[in-house]
């Protein structure tokens, strides 16, 4: 597509609905690793990575080669009609690498929301129960069940109800804002007393590190307590690893940071390095609960995306991206901590590996969120060519989702821009 950014913006507004929110007013022309260029030739450092999709960078040569090779054979047969070996071998690799020392099976889909929907279907089929417990601040997709599970109304649920029944929410632990593990567990116990008895709950679903909710890591004692609670009542524990998976947190999967394992786990985003692919992995007997034909989809496990996913796993191993995630995350956290004295809006710096976020609150307040300052930092960074994403229930958190393959000089350049922008924003009178 050719044209100026302004021309394309006018055409976009005329041709596409406002409900598809678009953050940037420029249009991508090409991308390479951690950089992208717009149609007018302007360069940006990409610390968004397609919302955590490009952990292996834009257009990694091995991913491009894998897709090109698959193109020479076939692009689509529908796995449920004519299967292919690459789907099976990828499932074997995921089964081997996913947490849990028990027999596993994996099914592939297309989007993260599909993975979540199918995990709930599997849980209901396996338990014969219907209830599901999720958490405030959680994000699980834009489908009807995904929205029901998501613990944030605006913008995801506005005007779209009613939602599927028997979905309940408890507060997610958030020490900065006064929510403890004990508070969360008491809220679940309250649900059992006020809304649904435990024997009707099929699953509890949570993100090991909340994504849209603000990059809040689940405390270890909270995860252990969820596992104990599920075991006590015959409830399945589902870990939504759509955003946390594939080396982002310093482990292949974030659940590998904990000493307990889930029954089912969803994955998507960086699984296929930019190609649409998602999956559910879990205990073999649970995964087999759905009847033949109950799982799948026309494009589920697309062969081009499967080929890309094989390359992604190889790249993570060969380039030691789990270790690199930890190294890069430590560097950015150290850089940000050095700014706390001169940027009083910095309330918290958190996150495992390279799943790092910085939360801004009004100076002198009792952690009152400051979304205005957050937007200012994001806007100033964008003006200087650094692409950042805002998240959090109060839109006062900036999350860093740079490709783990980012070149050293590009990473240093981004840190310099970030440092300058934070200093300048803090110096502007409120």
pLDDT category, 428, cuts 50, 70, 90?
Answer: confident
Q: Which residues pair with 282 in a beta bridge?
A: 105, 264
Q: Which pLDDT band holds residue 430 (cuts at 50, 70, 90)?
A: low
CB atoms within 10 A of CB 351: 24
* Closest CA relative to residue 99, chosen from 220, 256, 313, 286: 256
For the chain, give the mean pLDDT: 96
Quote the crossing angle between the two packed helices 85-97 and 303-318, to the nearest 10°. Answer: 40
| Mean pLDDT on 310-330 | 98
Torsion 284-289-291-294 (CA) sign: negative
* Percent residues over pLDDT 70 in the chain: 99
CA end-to-end span of the chain: 41
If you compute the radius of gyration of the chain from its CA atoms, what whole number of angstroms results?
21
Cα–Cα distance for residue pair 333/378, rounded to 1 Å: 17
Note if the pTM is more than 0.85: yes
Domains and CATH numbers, the chain: 5-59+320-427 (3.90.1150.10), 64-318 (3.40.640.10)
Cβ neighbour number for residue 138 with a 10 Å cutoff: 21
Strands (DSSP E) contained in 299-385 are: 346-350, 356-360
User: Of the candidates 134, 133, 139, which has an alpha carbon nearest to the alpha carbon of residue 153?
Assistant: 139
- pLDDT category at 242 given cuts 50, 70, 90 is very high
pLDDT, position 318: 98
Q: Please list the residues that pair with 45 across neighbouring strands.
A: 35, 386
Instruction: Pick the closest to residue 354 from 420, 405, 283, 285 (CA basis).
Output: 405
Strands of 199-306, DSSP E? 201-206, 236-240, 264-267, 278-283
Quick one: pLDDT at residue 3?
86
| Residues 395/176/210/19 CA torsion (nearest 10 deg) | -20
User: Exposure string (b/e) for 6-16, b if CB count within 10 Å is 16 or more?
Assistant: eebbeeeeeee
The answer to whether residue 383 scores a pLDDT higher than 70 is yes
């Amino acid at each position: 597509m050719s044209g100026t950014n302004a021309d394309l913006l006018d055409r976009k507004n005329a041709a596409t609905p406002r409900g598809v929110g678009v953050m940037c007013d420029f249009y991508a022309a090409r991308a390479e690793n951690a950089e992208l260029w717009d149609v007018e030739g302007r360069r940006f450092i990409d610390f968004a990575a397609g919302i955590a999709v490009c952990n292996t960078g834009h257009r990694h040569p091995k991913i491009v080669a894998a897709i090109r090779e698959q193109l020479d054979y076939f692009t689509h047969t529908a796995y449920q009609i004519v299967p292919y070996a690459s789907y099976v071998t990828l499932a074997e690799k995921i089964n081997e690498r996913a947490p849990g020392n028990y027999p596993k099976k994996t099914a592939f889909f297309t989007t993260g929301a599909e993975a979540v929907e199918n995990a709930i279907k599997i849980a209901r089929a396996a338990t014969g129960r219907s209830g599901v417990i999720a958490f405030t601040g959680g994000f699980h997709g834009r489908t009807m069940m995904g929205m029901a599970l998501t613990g944030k109304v605006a913008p995801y649920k506005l005007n779209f109800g009613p939602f599927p029944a028997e979905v309940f929410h408890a507060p997610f632990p958030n020490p900065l804002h006064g929510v403890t593990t004990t508070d969360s567990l008491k809220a679940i116990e309250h649900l059992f007393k006020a809304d649904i008895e435990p024997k009707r709950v099929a699953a509890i679903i949570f993100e090991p590190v909340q994504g849209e909710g603000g990059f809040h890591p689940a405390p270890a004692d909270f995860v252990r307590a969820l596992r104990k609670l599920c075991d006590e009542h015959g409830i399945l524990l589902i870990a939504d690893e759509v955003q946390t998976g594939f080396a982002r947190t310093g482990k292949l999967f974030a659940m590998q940071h904990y000493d307990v394992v889930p029954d089912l786990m969803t994955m998507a985003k960086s699984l296929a390095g930019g190609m649409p692919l998602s999956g559910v992995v879990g205990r073999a007997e649970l995964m087999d609960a759905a009847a033949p034909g109950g799982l799948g989809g026309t494009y589920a496990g697309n062969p081009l995306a499967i080929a890309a996913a094989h390359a992604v796993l190889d790249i993570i191993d060969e380039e030691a991206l789990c270790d690199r995630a930890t190294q890069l995350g430590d560097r950015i956290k150290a850089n940000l901590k050095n700014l706390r004295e001169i940027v009083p809006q910095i309330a918290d710096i958190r996150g495992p590996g390279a799943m790092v976020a910085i939360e801004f609150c009004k100076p002198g307040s009792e952690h009152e969120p400051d979304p205005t300052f957050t937007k200012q930092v994001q806007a100033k960074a964008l003006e200087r060519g650094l692409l950042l994403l805002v998240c959090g229930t109060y839109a006062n958190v900036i999350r860093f989702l740079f490709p783990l393959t980012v070149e050293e000089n590009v990473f240093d350049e981004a840190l310099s821009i970030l440092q300058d922008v934070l200093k300048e924003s803090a110096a502007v009178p409120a």
